[in-house]
Amino acid sequence: MNNRGCGQVSLSEARAWIGLGSNLCSPHQQIIDALTELDQLPLSRLVVSSSRYVSRPVGPQDQPDFVNAVAELQTRLSPLALLDQLQALEQRHRRVRQRHWGPRTLDLDLLLFQTPSREASPAEKVSGEDQPLLEQSLVHSSYIDQCWQHPRLTLPHPHMYQRAFVMLPLAEIAPELELPNGRRVAALAAELATELANDEVRPVLS
């Protein structure tokens, strides 16, 4: 197993929200299997996951619809160590990166990362090339949102606020969560839902 970066850990459990997507090789099963594997990541556990949603692809339309979900993890990994684990999981699902926004067996995006407010930011615990170019701490209740701009990772995910296939499942599991932009998840998801074309993003009923 590739444990690169796993030495960077939080002193206590952080909260992370992961976006999942697939449109190749039995996408519904890919998502189901990935959720099981997220619960098995080092120093991490799955707290809750959303229903699955079907969405039209972003970018090239000559590909199948996507199956999407969002999951919340509790983790002692730092953001970069968690990113390493997510990318390793994508590779185990034989993801091939051939074109931007192209079809994929599994896509895992780190959307949000919060640390307990009594803790130093993970950005304070890394150095050298792993140091974020921009890091802020935004306090919400007893947790702090980590806002990073790093060559490997931007937090929060730069496109999540505009993507209904992210915000709708996130609203299902964390409707009252306050985002780093000051908005609550449920309110932003409701706005996006009113802008959707028919069947652009739809929940899986079974």
The single-letter DSSP state of residue 153 is: -
Amino acid identity of residue 183, one-letter, is: R
The yes-or-no answer on residue 107 being catalytic is: yes
The yes-or-no answer on residue 104 being catalytic is: yes
Catalytic residue among 15, 52, 107, 163: 107
Classify 3 as helix, strand or coil: coil
Return the pLDDT at 5: 32
CB atoms within 10 A of CB 89: 19
Residues in the chain predicted with pLDDT less than 70, given as ranges, are 1-11, 95-102, 118-141, 198-199, 206
Q: Which two tokens stand for residue 86?
A: 């997510």
Cα–Cα distances (Å) from 98 to 123, 157, 170, in that order, read 31, 21, 28
Closest among 130, 141, 149, 15 to 84, alpha carbons compared:
130
Catalytic residue among 84, 104, 130, 163: 104
Return the pLDDT at 3: 28
Residue appearing with tokens 């993890």: 73
Walk me through the domains of the chain, giving residue ranges and CATH numbers. Answer: 9-197 (3.30.70.560)
The yes-or-no answer on residue 183 being catalytic is: no
The span from the CA of 127 to the CA of 80, in Å, is 12
Taken in order 154, 143, 130, 110, the sign of the CA dihedral is negative
Return the pLDDT at 157: 95
List pLDDT tens digits, range 137-177.
444 457 888 898 889 999 999 999 999 999 999 999 999 99
Catalytic residue among 92, 109, 183, 202: 109
The span from the CA of 7 to the CA of 123, in Å, is 14
Q: Vertex 26, ends 165 and 93: CA angle to 5°? A: 85
The yes-or-no answer on residue 62 being catalytic is: no
The single-letter DSSP state of residue 63 is: S
Catalytic residue among 15, 76, 95, 163: 95
